[in-house]
């Protein structure tokens, strides 16, 4: 009745832009990528949180994402820049292109991909497509939340608010994760992503999205990289360049295509 999916998508894109303001991960990625300017492909570029700074650093960047409300925010951030482009794409089903020096799989995308494909198969497909998109000697950059104790991270009964607020249309809402569980044997995370919006005319719309995700271990990531012709050059557990350990909470990998 209210074109709920469009209203929720627009609200979600605006909340992302308002809440996801950290720059440590972006600055770290730029330090690893280094120079000279490279041809970079970012998968799931969203509203340009990585894409625009990389372009400002002089790289030739291309972003892919299926969320048009996210993509619509890039234009204002990249005005008068001629080394940045983006397009709407399903990164699982659609082609990425080729000839890139760097492919970015950052921003926790390994845990946030959306597809009707089996989740683990979709994760593996990302590595195959990254290898195809890169020139020989090119690099894939991976940055995702990581823990040696996923059962502690993901067994979370109850509701966890992710963000809430009011968008430019006056719609006020809340997005939360509800009743997260982790199956250690299958490495499967299950939860419900819950949206509730009160529209500017007082009407309320809700959507509950059951979510199933696969937690990829470091061993699996290494196996997928090796199977697709990559060798790991750098690997860190945080943005201070500490190794991955019980005390770190990320897996940051810079791997070269042989």
User: What is the H or E stretch that residue 252 is in?
Assistant: strand 250-257
Class at the top of the CATH hierarchy for domain 150-213: mainly beta
CB 72 within 8 A of CB 17: no
Q: Is the pLDDT of residue 1 over 80?
A: no
Q: Structurally, what CATH architecture does the domain formed by 4-147+216-257 represent?
A: 3-Layer(aba) Sandwich (3.40)
Give the total residue count for the chain.
Answer: 258
The span from the CA of 181 to the CA of 122, in Å, is 21
Query: In this structure, is the dihedral angle defined by the CA atoms of residues 50, 148, 163 and 8, taken in order, positive or negative?
Result: positive
Q: Is the pLDDT of residue 45 over 60?
A: yes
Tally of CB atoms within 10 A around 242: 12
Domain boundaries, the chain: 4-147+216-257, 150-213
pLDDT digits (tens, 9 = 90+) for 109-166: 998 998 889 999 999 999 999 999 999 999 999 999 999 999 999 999 999 999 999 9
pLDDT digits (tens, 9 = 90+) for 84-101: 999 999 999 999 999 999
Partnered with residue 177 across adjacent β-strands are 160, 193
Report the pLDDT value the prediction gives residue 21, as an integer from 0 to 100: 86
The span from the CA of 180 to the CA of 204, in Å, is 25
What percent of the chain is predicted at pLDDT more than 90? 95
Mean pLDDT, the chain, rounded, equals: 96
Q: How confident is the model at residue 181 (pLDDT cuts 50, 70, 90)?
A: very high
The span from the CA of 86 to the CA of 241, in Å, is 30
What percent of the chain is predicted at pLDDT more than 70? 99
What residues contact 179, with CB distance under 8 A and at least 6 apart?
156, 157, 158, 159, 191, 192
**Strand ranges for 15-124 from DSSP E:** 39-43, 60-65, 84-88, 100-105
pTM, 2 dp: 0.95
């Amino acid at each position: 009745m209210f074109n709920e999916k469009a209203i929720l998508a627009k609200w979600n894109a605006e909340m992302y832009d308002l809440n996801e303001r950290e720059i440590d991960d972006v600055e770290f990625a730029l330090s690893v990528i280094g120079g000279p300017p490279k041809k970079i492909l970012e998968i799931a570029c969203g509203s340009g949180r990585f894409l625009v700074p990389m372009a400002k650093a002089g790289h030739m960047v291309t972003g892919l994402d299926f969320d048009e409300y996210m993509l619509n925010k890039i234009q204002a951030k990249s005005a008068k820049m001629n080394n940045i482009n983006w397009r709407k794409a399903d990164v699982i089903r659609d082609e990425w292109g080729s000839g890139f020096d760097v492919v970015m799989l950052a921003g926790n995308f390994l845990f946030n991909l959306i597809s009707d494909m089996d989740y683990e198969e979709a994760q593996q497909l990302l590595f195959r497509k990254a290898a195809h998109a890169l020139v020989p000697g090119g690099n894939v950059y991976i940055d995702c939340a990581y823990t040696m104790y996923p059962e502690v991270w993901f067994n979370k009964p109850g509701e966890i608010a992710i963000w809430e607020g009011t968008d430019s249309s006056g719609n006020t809402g809340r997005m939360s994760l509800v009743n997260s569980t982790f199956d250690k044997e299958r490495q499967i995370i299950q939860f419900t992503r819950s949206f509730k919006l009160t529209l500017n005319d007082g009407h309320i719309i809700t959507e509950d999205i059951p979510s199933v995700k696969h937690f990829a271990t470091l061993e699996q990531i290494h196996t997928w990289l090796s199977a697709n012709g990559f060798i790991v050059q750098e690997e860190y557990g945080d943005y201070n360049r500490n190794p991955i350990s019980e005390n770190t909470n990320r897996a940051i990998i810079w791997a070269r295509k042989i």
